[in-house]
Each structure stands twice: as structure tokens, then as C-alpha cells.
Amino acid sequence: MNRPSRPLRSLRAAENALAHATCAIIIRPLILAEIMVKLLEWQGKEVFRRYGIPLPKGAVVRSVEEVSKVVGTQVPLPCVVKAQVRIGGRGKGGALQFANTLEEAKAATMKLLGTDFKGETVKEVLIEEKLPLTRELYLSITLDRSRRAPVLMFCAEGGVEIESVPDEKIGKVWIHPSIGVVDYEKRLSVKFLGLDGPLGKELSGLVQSLWRVFTEEDAELVEINPLAIAGGHLVALDSKVTIEDDAIFRHPTYGNLKGEMTPLETKAHEKGIAFVEMGGDIGVIANGAGLTMATLDVLLEHGGKPGVFLDLGGTDDPKKVSEALSLMGEANPKVVFINIFGGVTRCDTVASGLVSEMGKKPLSFPFVTRIRGHNEPEGMAILKKAGIESYSDLAEAVRHVVTLEGRK
């Protein structure tokens, strides 16, 4: 099955790319680097609009020139000028500016465009009407992994970081995934938030819309914070929408939204190899997330400093192994530890990939190998013929790696 190229929520996705490249099944996910399809505020609001969730009047601009086209026409004054970045706490960080006149809106836009917020550069600004608020609430739906159910959460104190709100002030309802939010659950949220009359009705409708966004868009998280009461109606002042990476095949339009990776991580991704840089000096090539993490743990336990790790996943292609080694060379490690336990991956595949890469040009780093599991004798034979020693004991192999690290 071919899937569109897309950002990685996690290394699992890179493993996936590899799986499809080699027709191998890879067994498990990595949870190390969470890089997901997190929509910008305006993108989330576009989704909300399609589902009838009420929003303030607003427009996105990408240059100061565009401001005069929208302010006063599409967007009434006074207005809020909002940097479109994915970081939280935008209010405190200066990413939100208020403007009473067109000139102020232009100045705010000029100030925000190109500004860096925790490593994220502002390329777009959302300008919205500033509404007179009477209350700010909180509403979200996400997956509760512990209960293995979607959870609807609501809180009467919106507009602040929800983590800072004590648990008992947050209402929760767990939703049956196939039935959806039922009426009594909506009534619970209305009562919990102290709403009544038309506002209660609006909230019920809004909960239903949010549930539709959550399920129909395959979201991991849909959050409205704050959900404001302005002019006697509910309005979504902000949006946080994260799309589940594994469901992108149903939503190809989300596929080209960018995640965050280092250049080398990007290169590895293009080759279908999961690769993470950590900043020590030992390179690790392993297969599978659990074994990769355990290898790092053992290295650390012996005083080693793992710097970059590369998860081969499951492969039956020696070329993939060669590519992994050449990528590893670019990361410039002091020593490389190849620790493979073959299940789907065969030991002889890894061994011949290693030998063939060494035949092309000498490796720029010393390495230690431990290759065990499926077709182990065949793999050992290939390594032995090429004069490579392979360890069978993990602790022994790691001690050797750490000695080499110290020597160089």
C-alpha cells in the first residue's frame, strides 16, 4: 500500500515508511519523538467552520500589505493580531497583539511576521475581531489511553493553561466510540458549566459538532480554549486540532503539513529509516523501538554516551543496511554499536549489508556488532569470512563499545 509522503508524528511513521519500502512488517511503535500533524490555529478554524462551529470574523495575512485589504472590511476594529505558531501560551509570549486602528494592526503584523517563538518562525498572522467577552470556558475531546475511550472535557475556567486547573474543576465524560455523545452527556456538560436556556442549547450543538470533527477528521485532539461567551453566544476564540498520523491516508490534504526534524533526520526519513540525534558520541543501529531504547539504557548504565540512534525496523534488504551505515557516517560518531535481534529482519541480511558497505569504502568509524536471532549462524558465517567479530553477550559488547568511545 502506498501512502502519501507526510510529516512524522513519531518514529513509528518512519518505521512505517520502511515497512512499505521493503514489504516487511515492523512490529512496534517508537514513542520517542512526537512529531505530529498539529494544525495551526487558522487551519483548525477552517475545519471548525466546515462543521458549523461559531468563530469570530477573521482573515489570514502573510504580508503587511494584505492587512489594509482585510481590516475594516472582512475584520472589524478593534482587532487581535495572532502569530500562527504551534507553541502554547501565546498570550504570555507576546504572540498576540491588540490593535484599535488599521495602523496599529499593520504595526503588529510587521512585528510578528518573521519573529521566532521557541524556534518556530511566524509566516502567517491571523487577524480577528476583538469581541467583548462575558465568560471564557474550556472544551475538548481527546483519547483517554488509560480508559481506552474518547473523553469529552469541559471546564468553566477557560483561557488559562488547562494543566494549571485542579482536576475537580474539569468535567469529564467518556464517550462510546460507536454511539457518540448522547443527550444526557450533553446535559451533564451544560449543567457543569452553569449554562441554561439558549446557551445550553448552543453548547449541546457545539459538543456534537466537536465530536464530528474528532471522529470524521480522525483527530487525536480537538480543543477550544477559550470557548467564549460574547454577545450572548458561544464563540470559539482559539482552536487546537491534531490529526492522527496513522489516519492521514483518509485525509491526504493534511499530508503535506510539516513536522520538525533535523536535516539528517529528514534525510533518513526520505530513505525510510528512523533516526534520532541526541548529542552524545556513540552511534546505535538497532531494530525495533524497545530494543533500541534498551540498548541506549544499557550503554548509559555502562557510562557510555549515546549520540545518535537509528532504528532499522524490520527489513529483508541489505541495501537498507548499507544506507543506514552511510547515514550513520554523516552523524560523525566516535564509535558505532550495531545491535540487531532478528525476527522479521534476518541476521544474514544485516551481515551482508555491513560487509558490502565496507567493501565500497572503509567506514569512518570503529564499530562493534551483535547480531542475533533469525538466521544467526548464516549471519555469523558472513561476518567471520569478512574478519568481523560479533558478540553474543550484550553486556560484553557494550563494555567494548564504551572502551572504544573512551579511546578515541
Looking at the Cβ atoms of 32 and 133, the one nearer to another protein is 32
Cell of 395: 553486556
Question: What's the residue count for the chain?
Answer: 408
Whose Cβ is closer to another protein: residue 29's or residue 72's? 29
Q: Which C-beta is closer to another protein: that of 23 or that of 182?
A: 23
Q: How far is the CB of 346 from another protein (least distance, A)?
A: 10
What angle is formed at CA 198 by the lines to CA 192 and CA 199, rounded to 5 degrees?
A: 40
Instruction: Name the catalytic one among 129, 136, 138, 202.
Output: 138
How far is 275 from 308, CA to CA, in rounded Å? 7
Which residue, 185 or 244, is less far from another protein as judged by CB? Answer: 244
Amino acid identity, position 4: P
Distance of alpha carbon 397 from alpha carbon 355, whole angstroms? 19
Closer to another protein by Cβ: residue 79 or 268: 268
| Residue 220 appears among annotated catalytic residues | no
User: Using N-to-C axis directions, what is the helix angle for 318-330 and 263-270, rounded to 10°?
Assistant: 170
Q: Taking the complex as a whole, how short is the minimal distance between the CB of residue 247 and another protein, in angstroms?
A: 4
Q: Which of helix, strand or coil describes residue 321? A: helix
Which residue in 364, 257, 378, 195 sits closest to 5, CA to CA?
257
Determine how many CB atoms are found less than 10 A away from the CB of residue 231.
10
Q: How large is the C-alpha radius of gyration of the chain? A: 26
> Nearest distance from residue 177's CB to another protein, in Å?
4
Q: Is the separation of the CB atoms in 133 and 117 below 8 Å?
A: no
The CB-of-202 to another protein minimum distance in angstroms stands at 21
Task: For the chain, give the longest Cα–Cα distance.
Answer: 82
Is residue 216 part of the annotated active site? The answer reads no
The residue (of 15 and 357) whose beta carbon lies closer to another protein is 15
State the DSSP H helix or E strand holding residue 206, giving kind and residue range, or none if neither.
helix 197-216
CB of 67 or CB of 321, closer to another protein? 321
Helix, coil or strand: residue 394: helix
From the CB of 3, what's the least distance to another protein, in Å?
9
Shortest spacing between CB 166 and another protein, in angstroms: 11
Distance in angstroms (rounded) separating the CA atoms of residues 98 and 240: 21
Q: Identify the DSSP state of 27.
A: -
Place of cell 501512502: 3
**Catalytic, out of 41, 223, 323, 357:** 223
Nearer to another protein, 33 or 71 (CB): 33
Strand partners, 105: none
Cα–Cα distance measured from residue 332 to residue 156, given in angstroms and rounded to the nearest whole number: 53
For CA atoms 40, 46, 47, 53, the dihedral sign is positive
The minimum distance between CB 44 and another protein, in angstroms, equals 11
Shortest gap between Cβ of 307 and another protein (angstroms)? 11
CA distances from 28 to 44, 146, 249, 350 (A): 30, 19, 19, 19
- Residues annotated as catalytic are 138, 223
